[in-house]
Amino acid sequence: MFVKNCWYCAGWDYELVLGRNEPMPRRIAGEALVLYRKLDGSVVAMEDRCCHRQAAMHLGQREGDCIRCMYHGMKFGPDGKCVEIPGQDHISDKARIRTYPVVEKDNWIWVWMGDPSKADPELIPFAVGPGDKNWKIKTSKISVRANYRLEIANLMDLSHLTWIHRASLGGTDRWVTTPIKFTMLPRGVKSEFVLRSVPAPTFAQHVFPTGMLFDIDMNVDVTLPCNFILHFRAFTAGTATEGPSNGQLILDSWSSQAVTPVDEDNVEYYYSWGPSIATDRPGLADLLLAGVNQAFAEDKAVLEAQYRNMKERPDGNLVNIVHDAGPEKMLRLLDRFLAKEAAEAAREANPLRRAHR
Ligand code: FES
Ligand SMILES: [Fe+2]
């Protein structure tokens, strides 16, 4: 189940380059799309399904800003309207393919999967992309064979850094014991972490003298469907026991992560991490990316095996513990949006109610 009135990340802008021969297929929230760039550089997102006999449009051929289905040759404009039927003069108004609103922001391509009249670009989450001159952001992506609810639960409970990421982002059990301040957002949850006098993450410990400790301030916004925007700052360990760290800022960084549900069983995970220019050092951005690459391979192994177990025994044990509080907040919010859209769809389907609106 997916929220339709929502922006979904379709990938990094560099994955869809002007001049590319083949239109790019993507599956988002259970729907097959094809994406391509027009000559002016803007992106078209169209249903990957010809309106004649449902041939896949990504197997078609670009012709300027148009795309031709290469089964029987129907040609469509970037608005989805058919402009040519070889061997037939009349073109019905019904001969059109659905298109989707698209916005490029922070080097991500965002597609609105719901009612186009509700596609408000202000709903796209804040992020810091690799094109931002004030930050040195490196990017990557990974595919995970799991339902996106498991990703939400994973990202809303960072106690797992201690366990799953003991060899990468972990290195302390303080991720288990540190209280988290949660604040509800209109379409998500903000989590604030304050850790004092903790070791460096395992992947970076070799950089520092043995036993060196740090203060960490971390803010995370998780928004629908499953976007995770992290502001991570590390200081040398100070003496302040309350309020801001009085240590020296040694890393100011952003990690922007968009987990896009492909269908019920798969996600595409587009992510980045990088330091501010002011706290950058040679090789630091690569070190951070290597750390997060390792971490997400660790998550992938755990979540895919967990998902296989859950599919095998949907009625299996699910005992709650204290660390489920964060996941519950975001999953309940997701369920509220799903229920609201289901109620709206039911209302639309009921002619009596429609007539008495
Ligand atoms: S299926 Fe596309 S033209 Fe026939
Ligand atoms: Fe993780």
How does residue 357 score in pLDDT terms, banded at 50, 70 and 90?
Answer: low
Nearest to 132 by CA among 329, 285, 325, 274: 274
Ligand 1 atom with minimal separation from the 72 CA:
3
Torsion of CA 118, 119, 124, 129, to 10 degrees: 180
What is the C-alpha to C-alpha distance for residues 17 and 268, in angstroms, rounded to an integer? 19
User: Which protein residues are within 6 Å of ligand 1, measured from CB?
Assistant: 50, 52-53, 55, 69, 71-74
Ligand nearest to the CA of 47: 1
Q: How many whole angstroms from its chain centre is CA 92?
A: 38
Considering only residues 154 and 348, tell me which one the structure prediction assigns the higher pLDDT: 154
Considering only residues 199 and 18, tell me which one the structure prediction assigns the higher pLDDT: 199
343 - beta bridge partners? Answer: none
pLDDT digits (tens, 9 = 90+) for 249-283: 999 999 999 999 999 999 999 999 999 999 999 99
Q: Which pLDDT belongs to residue 333?
A: 98
Report, in this order, helix, strand and coil percent for the chain, each rounded to 5: 25, 35, 40
Strands 66-68 and 75-76: antiparallel
Residues with Cβ within 8 Å of 250's Cβ and at least 6 positions away in sequence, in order, are: 214, 234, 235, 236, 279
Distance of CA 68 from the midpoint of ligand 1 (Å): 9
Residue 148, phi then psi, degrees to nearest 5 = -70, -15
Ligand 1 atom with minimal separation from the 57 CA:
2
How does residue 188 score in pLDDT terms, banded at 50, 70 and 90?
Answer: very high
Q: Residue written as tokens 């301030």?
A: 217
Ligand 1 atom with minimal separation from the 69 CA:
2
The pick from 49, 59, 71 for probing ligand 1's pocket by mutation, whose C-beta has the most ligand atoms within 8 angstroms, reads 71
pLDDT digits (tens, 9 = 90+) for 145-179: 999 999 999 999 999 999 999 999 999 999 999 99
Strands 99-100 and 102-105: unpaired
Burial class (CB in 10 A: 0-12, 13-18, 19+), 4: middle
End-to-end CA distance of the chain: 27
Mean pLDDT of 241-247: 88
Query: Does 222 score more than 90 pLDDT?
Result: yes
Given strand 75-76, what is the order of strands in its sheet? 61-63, 66-68, 75-76, 82-84
The string of DSSP codes covering 97-150 is --EE-EEEETTEEEEE-S-GGG--GGGSPP---TT-TTB--EEEEEEE-S-HHH
Query: Does 353 score more than 70 pLDDT?
Result: no
Query: Does 43 score more than 60 pLDDT?
Result: yes
Task: Take atom 3 of ligand 1 and give the residue whose Cα is closest.
Answer: 72
Ligand 1 atom with minimal separation from the 55 CA:
1
Query: Does 17 score more than 90 pLDDT?
Result: no
Q: Which pLDDT belongs to residue 242?
A: 80
Cα 92-61-23 angle, rounded to 5 deg = 105
Helix, strand or coil for residue 90? Answer: coil
What is the C-alpha to C-alpha distance for residues 298 and 67, in angstroms, rounded to an integer? 40
Q: Do residues 269 and 142 lie in contact, with contact meaning Cβ atoms separated by under 8 Å?
A: yes
pLDDT digits (tens, 9 = 90+) for 76-91: 999 999 999 999 999 9
Nearest to 167 by CA among 295, 300, 302, 301: 295
Mean pLDDT of 209-229: 97
Task: Take atom 1 of ligand 1 and give the residue whose Cα is closest.
Answer: 53
In three state form, how does the secondary structure of 304-345 look? HHHHHHHHHCCCCCCCCCHHHHHHHHHHHHHHHHHHHHHHHH
How does residue 349 score in pLDDT terms, banded at 50, 70 and 90?
Answer: confident
Ligand nearest to the CA of 159: 2
Distance of CA 28 from the midpoint of ligand 2 (Å): 22
How does residue 197 score in pLDDT terms, banded at 50, 70 and 90?
Answer: very high
Mean pLDDT of 91-114: 98
What is the C-alpha to C-alpha distance for residues 25 and 7, in angstroms, rounded to an integer? 17
Task: Number of helices (H) and strands (E) in the chain: give both, helices first.
Answer: 6, 18
Ligand 1 atom with minimal separation from the 54 CA:
1
Length of the chain: 357
The pick from 47, 48, 49, 52 for probing ligand 1's pocket by mutation, whose C-beta has the most ligand atoms within 8 angstroms, reads 52
What is the C-alpha to C-alpha distance for residues 156 and 330, in angstroms, rounded to an integer? 7
Q: Which pLDDT belongs to residue 356?
A: 60
25 - beta bridge partners? Answer: 34
Ligand nearest to the CA of 51: 1
- Provide the residue type at 267 as one letter: V
Query: Does 354 score more than 90 pLDDT?
Result: no
pLDDT digits (tens, 9 = 90+) for 330-345: 999 999 999 999 999 9
* Residue 37 CB neighbours (<10 A): 22
Question: In this predicted structure, which of 9-23, 162-176, 213-227, 277-291 has the lowest mean pLDDT?
Answer: 9-23
